[in-house]
Amino acid sequence: MSECIKNVNANGTNLSIPPMKVAIIGGGLVGSLAALNFARNGHNVHLYEYREDIRTAELVQGRSINLALSQRGRKALSSVGLEEEVLATAIPMRGRMLHDIKGRTSVVLYDPCTNECLYSVGRKHLNEILLNAGEKFPNIHYHFEHKLKKANFNEGSMSFQRPYEEKDAVATADLIVGADGAFSAVRQQMSKTLGFNYSQEYIEHGYLELCIPAKNDEFQMPPNYLHIWPRNEFMMIALPNQDKSFTVTLSMPFKVFQGIQSHQELLDFFRKYYTDALPLIGEEMLIKDFFKSKPQFLLSIKCNPFHYGDKALLLGDAAHAMVPYYGQGMNAGMEDCSIFFSILHQPHITLARALEQFTETRVQDAHAICDLAMYNYVEMRDLTKRFSFKCRKFLDTTLFRFFPSVWVPLYNSVSFTSMPYSKCIANREWQDEILKKVFGATLFFALTLSGAFIYVNNM
């Protein structure tokens, strides 16, 4: 009887795996979410984070101040009861607002049929919500300023470097979870095991963050859009913040960054390419922010498997880092949690089998979203401006309107459903086939052409 009670969690879910000691490496968005999930399943969780506690730190460095949250992330937050709290301070973005080179804008809604939208959330705020939620569990223990240096999976032993201590801290666990981001130390350890495939690819673009501040306590641009300045070789985007500012991300080849050395060159560059954004950012602020920091690198990482025996597991960027152009990195990492814990809830499953099953079901989808993000790297800065893109968008939207359960466009299936990423791609290929078959090459062209005229005229 007591055995029975012990293995049923708060939701009444049947738990096949008896309580164990879980070490989570990395207290970012995915690690802190995974901690909540393990704790809800009755496990004893120790979370080790390299940085100091961001909730009390004075200055938090890190990438992108805000992120686009969509369906997959929302679902994972909802399963730990935090979706509402997160959405309460998030800013909905109903579509893309495109800024052309002359400063004219046009809107492409994400979903004119059912009005789905993305939500701009602050990274720090979201991380704080997740960490605070963990404080309520007596079985979650936080260890900040612990940097994993070594792990022995078979022994379940780890050693951590601490900033003010000479001696490393050591610890043991039954399961070691690597949620330590793109440069994962846990993955590095896993890469030494036999049969582990791994690839990484840096793209030639880097990114730099700028800011469009609030003016008279108001947004300087319409807030409910993801703003995009597509310029072929480079691109700028802006997401709204709660304080009525926008975080602007300028993305371009490193050689273009290097070509801008003086204040005058920078201002000339912005006058030429981002003429409408320049007065919003402000010349002084632009110069300060641009020369303050170096452009950051972006990389894509794939690996397989995501686990080692019944000893170690990779989640989030540690398992699959991607270029940020689909806005899915965090969403995919959070979805890893949804998928792993639904596997863990299967009756009679063992930990070894659960980890194996996670790799089996997740690897191909992780690789698929890495590929899609790479594809959007081109699409966002280039295709969004193109006539053919607008044609396809028109056709997709029309078909979606009439056949909402059959014809879900690619962007929508990725952002607004939980369809496995690899199926989103297969779905798109199937749609391409149909369009070709139904319309034939010529008619298809004529139709999209006329359709696009209607579409463009309607904007």
Ligand X SMILES: *[C@@H]1O[C@H](CO)[C@@H](O)[C@H](O)[C@H]1NC(C)=O
When the beta carbons of 9 and 78 are compared against ligand FAD, the nearer one is: 78
Which position among 131, 176, 330, 343 is part of the footprint of ligand FAD (CB under 6 A)?
A: 330
Supply the DSSP symbol for 14: B
| Cα–Cα dist 126/427, whole Å | 32
**CA dihedral angle for residue 295, residue 285, residue 225, residue 76, rounded to 10 degrees:** 50
Which position among 41, 79, 300, 331 is part of the footprint of ligand FAD (CB under 6 A)?
A: 331
Select from ligand X, ligand FAD, none the partner in contact with residue 68, using the beta carbon and a kind-dependent cut-off of 5 to 8 Å: ligand FAD
Q: Say if residues 47 and 137 touch (Cβ distance below 8 Å).
A: no
Q: How many residues bind ligand FAD (CB under 6 A)?
A: 33
The Cβ-side half-sphere exposure at 454, using a 13 Å CA radius, reads 12
Calculate helix-pair angle for 29-40, 123-135, nearest 10 degrees.
20
With 0-12 / 13-18 / 19 or more C-beta atoms within 10 angstroms meaning exposed / middle / buried, residue 291 is: middle
| Cα–Cα dist 341/309, whole Å | 17
3-state secondary structure of 422: helix
Phi then psi for 408, rounded to 5 degrees?
-100, 115
- Residues contacting residue 61 through CB under 8 Å, at least 6 positions apart: none
Select from ligand X, ligand FAD, none the partner in contact with residue 181, using the beta carbon and a kind-dependent cut-off of 5 to 8 Å: ligand FAD
122 belongs to the binding site for ligand FAD (CB under 6 A): no
- Minimum CB separation of residue 198 from ligand X in Å reads 9
Which position among 48, 257, 377, 394 is part of the footprint of ligand FAD (CB under 6 A)?
A: 48
Select from ligand X, ligand FAD, none the partner in contact with residue 249, using the beta carbon and a kind-dependent cut-off of 5 to 8 Å: ligand FAD
Pairing between strand 197-212 and 246-253? antiparallel
- Minimum CB separation of residue 322 from ligand FAD in Å reads 7
- Minimum CB separation of residue 189 from ligand X in Å reads 17
| Cα–Cα dist 72/134, whole Å | 21
3-state secondary structure of 167: coil
What mask of x and - would describe binding to ligand FAD in positions 214 to 253, judged by CB under 6 A?
Answer: -----------------------------------x----
295 belongs to the binding site for ligand FAD (CB under 6 A): no
147 belongs to the binding site for ligand FAD (CB under 6 A): yes
Stretch that binds ligand FAD, among 95-103, 174-182, 366-374, 446-454 (CB under 6 A): 174-182
When the beta carbons of 152 and 197 are compared against ligand X, the nearer one is: 197
414 belongs to the binding site for ligand FAD (CB under 6 A): no
Phi then psi for 208, rounded to 5 degrees?
-140, 140
Q: Say if residues 345 and 14 touch (Cβ distance below 8 Å).
A: yes
Q: What does 265-297 look like in DSSP terms, one character per residue?
A: HHHHHHHHH-TTTHHHH-HHHHHHHHHHSPPEE
Select from ligand X, ligand FAD, none the partner in contact with residue 337, using the beta carbon and a kind-dependent cut-off of 5 to 8 Å: none
3-state secondary structure of 407: coil
67 belongs to the binding site for ligand FAD (CB under 6 A): yes
64 belongs to the binding site for ligand FAD (CB under 6 A): yes
Q: From the CB of residue 432, how many other CB atoms can be counted at a distance below 10 Å? A: 12
Select from ligand X, ligand FAD, none the partner in contact with residue 179, using the beta carbon and a kind-dependent cut-off of 5 to 8 Å: ligand FAD
Give the binding site for ligand X (CB under 6 A).
195, 197, 304-305
- Minimum CB separation of residue 147 from ligand FAD in Å reads 4
Select from ligand X, ligand FAD, none the partner in contact with residue 195, using the beta carbon and a kind-dependent cut-off of 5 to 8 Å: ligand X
The structure tokens listed for 402 are 């009439």
Stretch that binds ligand FAD, among 11-19, 60-68, 81-89, 435-443 (CB under 6 A): 60-68
- Minimum CB separation of residue 46 from ligand X in Å reads 29
Calculate helix-pair angle for 421-458, 387-402, nearest 10 degrees.
110
Q: Say if residues 211 and 221 touch (Cβ distance below 8 Å).
A: no
Select from ligand FAD, ligand X, none the partner in contact with residue 25, using the beta carbon and a kind-dependent cut-off of 5 to 8 Å: ligand FAD
Reported as type and span, the H/E element at residue 224 is none
- Minimum CB separation of residue 146 from ligand X in Å reads 30
Which position among 51, 75, 162, 385 is part of the footprint of ligand FAD (CB under 6 A)?
A: 51
Contacts to ligand FAD by CB under 6 A: 25-31, 48-51, 63-64, 67-68, 147-148, 179-181, 185, 207, 249, 316-318, 324, 327-331, 333
